[in-house]
Amino acid sequence: MGNFFVNNALTRAFWGDEAWTALISALPLPDLVKTTAADFHPPLYYTLVHFWMQAFGNSEVSLRLISLLFWLLAGIAACFFARSLNLSRTFRLRFAYFVWFNPFLFLYAFEARNYTLFVFLSVCSMWFFYLLLRSPRPIFLTGYLLFTLAGLYTHYFMFFLLAAQYLFVVLFRRDLFKHFLLLAVCFLLLYLPWLPFFFSQVKSVAGGYWIAPLTPNTVWGTVETLIRGEYTSAFSAGLLLFFGVYLLLAVRTAWQNKSLKTPETALFLIWFCIPFLLPILVSFYRPLFFYRYLIFTAVPVMLLPLFWLASATKRPATPGALLIPALFPLLLLAAYLYIDWLTLSRNTRQLFKPVLAEIHAQARPGDVIYTVLPSFAEVVYYNQYDGAPLPVKVLPRGLQQASGKALLDTYVRNNYLTLEDLPPFGRYWYLEPGPTFRLVEK
């Protein structure tokens, strides 16, 4: 147990994408924006991390605390959403618990990446969207604009959620369509500064990228991940089966209580279905990275059955009829808590951290580190970790347009490192993903 407090999902070493977050966020703001513009990500998350690092440092724990903060806020936002749906205090808390402890969402609460910020903004956008449909008050309009726009500046899949919201307006609230057209103009105007970079990135992806074509296994695997998380365990299949039974019982409860045909049910269904289906359709033309980018759709998957089960408590019912909404969510939550404990205690990879520590312990004056694009961010981050960095050179091979290439270009341009082939003789350290490393002396 003592080792758990030293080595866990919060304190473990960064892997490539997290190190990428640390390096890009450490850049001066103009370089940060230029690098994200040349890569495939909007700049808001990295800008927040940039200022966070100035106040709290760039350690693994510090950068992951940002994700934990937005994970907590996402659950709180879901709780307030449930309040707006006039659900009981019990179901308000369950809305929060299932956002917090869904294994997929819980996992990324401990990664220094933009996913929990994206989830938080998507929940808030849907919450204020719902409030705005009920009452066009200025505070609801402002909240909807701010959270949705922030989502668009955080992750491009926010456009799919925006499409879902506008489809809901077309199908169920045509009386508000003109008002939402004006809102669309506002979104366009406020997104204009980033729009040229967005189209440039779309063109770059269309020109060739590392993402594999979408397959039925990818789609089904994403559905599984939304329900049980990324990591498989001995009871993963049983958990999926239990969730299926739980969902069917929730549908049955909603049918009995006449809540299947409510606008709220349609809202939750569209919230999941449209952002899930649109990337599939786009992938027939150009493959998109799928399951992690759809992390925000785990929220409606968790909340819709709870909303249906809550309907059983709004009508007179026998104790037996109330057993399902009381017992099944608790059993599922218990299973999720067990998986989350495994995630927290077993996700302890150290990767390049001990490798660089060993290299620094054995290094001699004049030693140089050579590495490749897929591992350069981790190598650079941990090379600086103990305050005694060695020169880093990246091999000029395999530099296809991929996430990380723009950051490498910026670091080369700013003379933080250089591109260079392996020398024919001399002493140097060679590091590759894995991690693997060797000392070369010739």
Q: Domain boundaries in the chain?
A: 59-346, 352-441
| Residue 358: predicted pLDDT | 92
Q: What is the pLDDT of residue 399?
A: 61
pLDDT at 251: 92
Contact 343, 103 (CB under 8 A): yes
* Secondary-structure breakdown of the chain: helix, strand, coil percentages, each rounded to the nearest 5: 65, 5, 30
The rounded distance, in Å, linking the Cα atoms of 330 and 328 is 5
- Kind plus residue range of the DSSP H or E element containing 378: helix 373-383
3-state secondary structure 276-318: HHHHHHHHCCCCCCCCHHHHHHHHHHHHHHHHHHHHHHHCCCC
Q: How many other CB atoms are found less than 10 A from the CB of residue 282?
A: 13
Q: Can you tell me whether residue 120 is helix, strand or coil?
A: helix
Do the beta carbons of residue 114 and residue 45 sit within 8 Å? yes
Task: Give the per-residue pLDDT at 7.
Answer: 76
In this prediction the pTM is 0.94
Q: Which residue has the tokens 């809540």?
A: 259
- Both tokens of 69, joined, read 């903060």
Q: How far apart are CA 187 and CA 407, in angstroms?
A: 29
Type and span of the H or E element at 394: strand 392-394
Q: Residue 83 has which token pair?
A: 């309040």
Spatial distance between the Cα atoms of 300 and 272, rounded to a whole number of angstroms: 6
What is the CA 198 to chain-centroid distance, rounded? 19
List, run by run, the mean pLDDT of 10-residue segments along the chain (442 residues). 68 93 95 90 96 95 97 98 94 96 96 97 98 94 97 96 97 94 96 91 63 81 92 82 93 87 95 94 79 94 94 61 76 93 86 92 93 92 85 82 77 91 93 92 87
Q: How would you list the strands of the sheet with 392-394, edge to edge?
A: 418-419, 392-394, 369-371, 427-432, 436-441
Give the per-residue pLDDT at 423: 92
Axis-axis angle for helices 405-413, 373-383 (nearest 10): 50
pLDDT given for residue 403 in this prediction? 58
Please report the pLDDT score of residue 207 as a whole number. Answer: 52
Q: How far is CA 90 from CA 245, 248, 298, 329, 367, in A?
A: 22, 21, 21, 11, 61
- For residue 442, what pLDDT is reported? 82
The H or E element spanning position 323 is helix 319-346
Burial of 318 (0-12, 13-18, 19+ CB in 10 A): exposed
